[in-house]
Amino acid sequence: MTKSRINLRAVSGSLLLAALVSGCASQTPQREAGATAPSTPQSSTAAASGERYAMTGDAYPVAPPDVTTVPDAEPRIEPPSRAGNRPTYEVWGETYHVLPDARGYAKQGTASWYGEKFHGYATSNGEIYDMYKMSAAHRSLPLPTFARVTSLSNGRSVIVRVNDRGPFHSDREIDLSYAAAARLGILDNGTGPVRVEAIDPGQWLAERGRGGSTASSPAVSAAPSAATAAVPASPEQAPASREPSANDAIYLQIAALGSAEGAQQLQQRLAGELPHGVRIKSDSDIHRVQVGPVSPGQETQAREELRRAGFPQVFVVR
C-alpha cells in the first residue's frame, strides 16, 4: 500500500482498514516465477477472500497418481492462442518479448516445475492447468508450442505443450508440469539442467505420414523435391548404404552427460531411431554420446536425422 493509504487508514479507523484489506486482496496476482518443489509437502493455506490462488506457496500434490506412463504431448497444427501472445508483456517490472515463430528454437538452461498451487487454475492462454498432463510454461515461446525437453543429467526426454507464461527467474528456461518433471526425474531436486527444442508440428506429422502442411517451414521447404529424393533409393547410388572407411569416418557428438545411466538411456533410445550406430565415450565423470561412424557423404543426412530426433546442435569428433 502507498504511504498516503497507510496514513488514511490510521485516521479512518477499523472500518476503513477492513475495506482496504479487502481491496488489496481482490487484485489478481501474476503467476509466480518458476515454482520449485519444497522438500516436504505443504498443506493448503486459505488465502484472503478473493485471492486467485487458494494456496500461499506451491507444493507437491497429496497422494499423486503414478505419472511415469503419462504419454508425451502429441504435436499437432494449432492456431495461435487468442490470449497470452501479445508481442510484449510485463511482469514484476520486467518486459518480456514473445517470439513470432517457434521454429528453430533450441536452448539449454534450468527447468523447474509447478504443481498443486496452480492446478485447476487458468493458464496464460486461458486453458486450465492440469499438473498431470505434459505441459509447460515459457517466457517467450508462442502459445501453444510443442517442445522436446531433454534432461542433461540423465538423457531422458519428453514432449510438452507450452500453454503458459513463466518462469520469471532469469536463471531458468522452462517451468514443467508435475508429470513432465516426474518423467525427467527432477522432482526431488526441484530443478535440473535441460535442453529445450521447439517442434514444427507440420513437419512432425509429415515425417510420420500423417499429413500436415509443411510448406511454411524453412527447414522442410529447403528439402529436395519428391523426384530428387527418390534418386538415392537405388542401392548403387545411395552413399548411406556403404560403410565408411576407417580413414574418413567421423562421429557426431550430441551430448556430454555426467550420468553413465543417462548416457546409456540416450544411447538405447537413439539406437532404435537412427540407422547409424551410437557409442558412449567415457572420460572420468563425463560420458559422451556419439553417433557413427559416418562418412563425409553421409554427414548431411545424419545431421538431418539427428535434428528430427531433437538434436539440432552436434559437432564432429573422430
- The predicted-structure confidence for 72-112, as pLDDT tens digits, reads as follows 999 999 999 999 999 999 998 999 999 999 999 999 999 99
Spatial CA neighbour of 152 closest among 304, 265, 70: 265
* Alpha carbon distance 185, 307 (integer Å): 24
| Higher pLDDT among residues 279 and 63, named by residue | 279
Lowest-confidence segment of 94-98, 190-194, 282-286 by average pLDDT: 282-286
Query: Which residues 6+ apart lie within 8 Å of 265 measured at CB?
Result: 154, 155, 156
Instruction: Reduce the DSSP state of residue 150 to 3 states and report it.
Output: strand
According to CATH, the topology of domain 239-318 is: Alpha-Beta Plaits (3.30.70)
pLDDT at residue number 214: 40
* Alpha carbon distance 71, 76 (integer Å): 15
| Higher pLDDT among residues 292 and 133, named by residue | 133
Q: What share of the chain is helix, strand, coil (3-state, %, to 5)?
A: 25, 25, 55
Pairing, β 286-294 against β 250-257: antiparallel
Residue 114, pLDDT above cutoff 80: yes
Q: In sequence order, what are the beta bridge partners of 175?
A: 112, 137
* Alpha carbon distance 227, 184 (integer Å): 41
- State mean pLDDT over 235-263: 64
Q: Has this prediction a pTM greater than 0.85?
A: no
Question: Of how many residues is the chain composed?
Answer: 318
Lowest-confidence segment of 70-79, 160-169, 301-310 by average pLDDT: 301-310
Class of domain 31-40+51-207: mainly beta
The conformation of residue 235, written as its DSSP 8-state character, comes to T
- State mean pLDDT over 10-25: 34
Positions of CATH 3.30.70.1070 in the chain: 239-318
* DSSP labels, 20-54: HHHHHHTSPPPPPS-PPPPSS-------STT-S-S
> CA dist 202 to 73, 111, 172, 214, 218, Å?
15, 26, 28, 5, 11
Positions of CATH 2.40.40.10 in the chain: 31-40+51-207
Residue 184, pLDDT above cutoff 90: yes
pLDDT at residue number 316: 81
Task: State the pLDDT confidence band at 230, using cuts at 50, 70 and 90.
Answer: very low
pLDDT at residue number 52: 62
- State mean pLDDT over 156-176: 92
